[in-house]
Amino acid sequence: MVIKPKIRGFICTNAHPVGCEASVQEQIEFVKKKGPIDGPKNVLVIGCSTGYGLASRITAAFGSGAKTLGVCFEKEPSEKKTATAGWYNTAAFHKAAKANDLYSKTINGDAFSHECKQQVIDLIKSDLGSVDLVIYSLASPRRVDPDDGTVYNSSLKPIGNTYTTKTFDTSKKLVHDVTLEPANQDDIDNTIKVMGGEDWELWMKALNEAGVLAENCRTTAYTYIGKELTWPIYGHATIGKAKEDLDRAASALNHSYSDLNLKAYVSSLKAVVTQASSAIPVMPLYISLMYQVMKDEGCHEGVIEQIYGLFNDLLLADNPPVDEAKRLRMDTVETNDEIQSKIKQKWELVTTENFDELGDYAGYHLDFLRLFGFGIDNVDYDADVDPMVGWS
């Protein structure tokens, strides 16, 4: 099959197995080049197949030599249709781990379900004994309650008032105003159900009850805090309320498992192009302008740079610096006043006509294509490739 990108709105509906493997390999090379991290040995990554979770898995395995157990929710390939990118990324990760004598197993299933948690626990018991780091990196639009089957959908809505802002339509290539209707209480509650801390707590409870959390275990969930430009649609919006709930959950986890000396953190990461962020209104425009500013200033970072820095400087340290809500902050270069004021200046001026000049949409779009294994150097996109790639 010759595989070319099929883009529909903010999503690409196919993926390239060779390109995904090359992009996973690039992240592995980055970590190997940076050097070893004295870190965890048995790591569970929930949401391991793309974005920040994949970078976490790669950093744990290739930075600290950790055995990794991953959980993701990806579609396998058929003879006619490619798998999702996360499927191919996972296959590539397994291949590279095997070549480096590193244990890796992945469960492809619904992380919110009791069954998935039990499968993970059984594997930890049989293969690892316990885990000393749990990364919670799920980004999902919906959650099925594991007890009563209720389906909760998250939403990306402002809170309080209707909000009008600039956005960039990636299909029509237009900068235009968009008006977003405010959330009602159900929207807020449902988003907290999906993206808040409840499921993170359920995971830690199940792992603890099964006796598979190692003493001094660390766990982190990821957040985005941002600044004024993104607060109305992120930090102070429905998703921000869910992220606030992570802060509550981290504090509860630290309290509940103090006998294990468990340390639970929310880690705030910078905005990057991932499947999750490209679905958020305003983000493609904000990220394009921010990329341009940060590249001009020589401080641009992607997922692997952020996660390597998090592991090396903060997450595994004995007493890492934390902010007022006890979060670890990897986003301070993006959110500092100087960078933000440069982004704001561009934001005020940006139109469809000057967007390419003021922003780095080319960089944004390339990162977007790369999520699906396209746009990667030295990959022959005219070649016939077998989509039926898997892992054991």
Min. distance of Cβ 48 from ligand NAD in angstroms?
Answer: 6
CB 134 within 8 A of CB 216: no
Active site residues: 234
β-sheet bridge partners, residue 264: 219
Min. distance of Cβ 375 from ligand NAD in angstroms?
Answer: 17
CB 220 within 8 A of CB 266: yes
Is residue 74 a known part of a binding site?
Answer: yes
Interhelix angle 114-123/198-209, nearest 10 degrees? 40
Min. distance of Cβ 383 from ligand NAD in angstroms?
Answer: 26
Binding region for ligand NAD (CB under 6 A): 47-53, 71-74, 86, 110-112, 137-140, 222-224, 269, 271-272, 274-277
Task: Quickly count: other Cβ atoms within 10 Å of residue 51's Cβ.
Answer: 25
Is residue 138 a known part of a binding site?
Answer: yes
Question: Measured from the CB atom, is 35 or 149 closer to ligand NAD?
Answer: 149
Rounded CA gap, 19 and 146, in Å?
Answer: 36
Q: In the numeric block, which tokens belong to residue 283?
A: 């983000």
Min. distance of Cβ 274 from ligand NAD in angstroms?
Answer: 3
φ/ψ of residue 106, rounded to 5 = -135, 135
Is residue 48 a known part of a binding site?
Answer: yes
Is residue 134 a known part of a binding site?
Answer: no
Rounded CA gap, 314 and 320, in Å?
Answer: 5
Is residue 90 a known part of a binding site?
Answer: no
Is residue 49 a known part of a binding site?
Answer: yes
Question: Measured from the CB atom, is 274 or 340 closer to ligand NAD?
Answer: 274
Looking from the CA of 73 toward its CB, the CA atoms found within 13 Å total: 15
Is residue 51 a known part of a binding site?
Answer: yes
Question: Measured from the CB atom, is 112 or 355 closer to ligand NAD?
Answer: 112
Rounded CA gap, 122 and 130, in Å?
Answer: 11
| Residue whose C-alpha is closest to residue 180's, from 199, 161, 201, 193 | 161
Question: Measured from the CB atom, is 71 or 133 closer to ligand NAD?
Answer: 71
Min. distance of Cβ 193 from ligand NAD in angstroms?
Answer: 13
Q: In the numeric block, which tokens belong to residue 43?
A: 């790591």
Angle at alpha carbon of residue 169, lines to 3 and 289, rounded to 5° = 100
Question: Measured from the CB atom, is 286 or 347 closer to ligand NAD?
Answer: 286
Q: In the numeric block, which tokens belong to residue 154?
A: 């998250």
Binding site for substrate, by residue number, is 224
